[in-house]
Amino acid sequence: MALVGAMIGAAAGGWISDVYGRKKATLSADVVFTLGSLMMAAAPGPYLLIFGRLLVGLGVGVASVTAPVYIAEAAPSEIRGGLVATNVLMITGGQFLSYLINLAFTEVPGTWRWMLGVSALPAIIQFSLMVFLPESPRWLYLKKDKAEAIVVLSKIYDPFRLEEEIDRLAVTLEEERQRKQSVRFWDVFKSKEIRLAFLAGGGLQAFQQLTGCNTVMYYGPTIVQMAGFRSNQLALLLSLIVAALNALGTIVGIYVIDRFGRKKLVLTSLSGVIMSLILISASFMLRSSDHTNGLYGWLAILGLALYIAFFSPGMGPVPWAVNSEIYPEIYRGTCGGMAATVNWVSNLLVAQTFLSLASALGVGSTFLVFAVVAVIAFIFVIVFVPETKGLSFEEVERIWKRKAWGRGDSSEALLAGGDNATA
């Protein structure tokens, strides 16, 4: 139900952030999440618990759209990727902390109520701090108050760069005035360049889940036990290590995403993911034919660790970073929401089918399916995803226009210009 709520929240989150602003959308997500957490903790029966779970999912879904867009629109282009990736670090770091917190509450009376209720604290803290942050300067300039936008921009850029940014926003505003003032979901598919952008963004979000990451995160202890480690405590401990690697890998991603570029990073990440999935698959297949050899169980654990180590710096943050920067302003909220919905739908699909597939095909064959999907993802990135490192939103928009209308992909030339501007 949390994933269903997240799908609905992500679908609505883009529209909410476009109409009311990135800040208000995030604050509303915090309120809904807090209500859901407290409702779960106090639930007298299963139905209120399930409804609270739905509310928590709604909050997560809205925040998953608005947070990356808010960060991207308030960040200079040369560090935009790293700052968006920091949002992913907060997620992976939060997953690691949740293991520790749940472990701490296992011996406390009312165990599960504390586990669910304490999740309201991060939302309350974020709401309290977000109140003091400004609205996205791009959203302010294009949708509400130019003077307020310039005040915010002056806190981010030096005077020379500030003038450049204002000029770019003025051009963008004029272009938006010549377009329709509101964007509906089906409008995304009427424009060839927006279709291409959404294909790249939505495809990345789908492959992030279909290559099996949240299978490892959701079912980590179960997979460890499938590998032959029957102790619940050992399974939880090994899963905790995997969660820690996920957070550490995201830190590496923050460091390299604006240095190596999005495309190179995600292709390197997928290469390691493919090799790791093959190792996991082979380990389980060999173990099924020789239950007495504990080596295969440890090889499976090594494969899981390598999988997370390769996945977390690239396929973890890059889809969110790319989706925060590849759409024109008027489409950014809508397309970002649609792409996030694709992510949550794919997440739900993988989470609901993994155990059934593992039962029907075997664990080894299931991970081999993930490896095949990762190969398809590798080819998809090469063909459909352009490099956006160091480019302004306007330069990225020109890439899609050239791709759509057959004038050649000038991303290399734009990259050179972006790098020079950065230098």
pLDDT of residue 182: 60
How far apart CA 106 and CA 104 sit, in angstroms, is: 6
Distance between start and end Cα atoms, the chain: 48
Global model pTM greater than 0.85: no
Per-residue pLDDT tens over the stretch 184-213: 677 778 788 889 999 999 999 999 999 988
Instruction: Say what the pLDDT of residue 410 is.
Output: 43
The pLDDT of residue 254 is 86
What pLDDT shows up at residue 37?
A: 96
| Number of Cβ within a 10 Å radius of residue 44 | 7
Cβ atoms of 308 and 249 within 8 Å: the answer is: yes
d(CA 26, CA 60) in angstroms, rounded, equals: 10
Separation between Cα atoms, residue 409 and residue 214, nearest integer Å: 34
CA-closest candidate to residue 229, choices 242, 239, 217, 216: 239
* pLDDT per position as a tens digit, 63-94: 988 998 899 888 887 788 888 888 888 888 88
Name residues whose C-beta falls within 8 Å of residue 107's C-beta, 6 or more positions apart in sequence. none
Token output for 47: 């139905």
Please report the pLDDT score of residue 293 as a whole number: 57
Q: Three-state DSSP class for 290?
A: coil
DSSP state of 291: T
* CA pair distance 393, 74, nearest whole angstrom: 12
Residues 169 and 145: beta-carbon distance below 8 Å: no
What is the rounded CA–CA span in Å between residue 166 and residue 151? Answer: 11
d(CA 365, CA 285): 8
Phi/psi for 253 (5° steps) reads -60, -40
Q: 310 — phi, psi (to 5°)? A: -85, -35
How far is it, in rounded angstroms, from Cα 385 to Cα 380?
7
Q: Which residues contact 337 (CB under 8 A, 6 or more apart)?
A: 10, 11, 12, 13, 14, 15, 17, 65
Residue 420's pLDDT is what? 38
Quick check: 67 and 15 in contact, CB under 8 A? Answer: no
**Hey, what are 139's tokens?**
């959203």
What distances in angstroms separate CA 99 from CA 42, 81, 221, 358, one per listed residue? 22, 28, 11, 24
DSSP state of 387: P
State whether residue 409 is helix, strand or coil: coil
Q: How many residues does the chain have?
A: 423
Instruction: Kindly give the residue spans of alpha helices, DSSP state H, lying in 156-191.
Output: 159-178
pLDDT of amino acid 213: 85
Sign of CA dihedral 231, 233, 234, 235: positive
Quote the pLDDT of residue 407. Answer: 57
How far apart (Å, rounded) are the C-alpha atoms in residues 421 and 76?
12
**CA angle centred on 119, ends 118 and 122, rounded to 5°:** 105
Residue ranges of the chain with pLDDT lower than 50?
Answer: 408-423
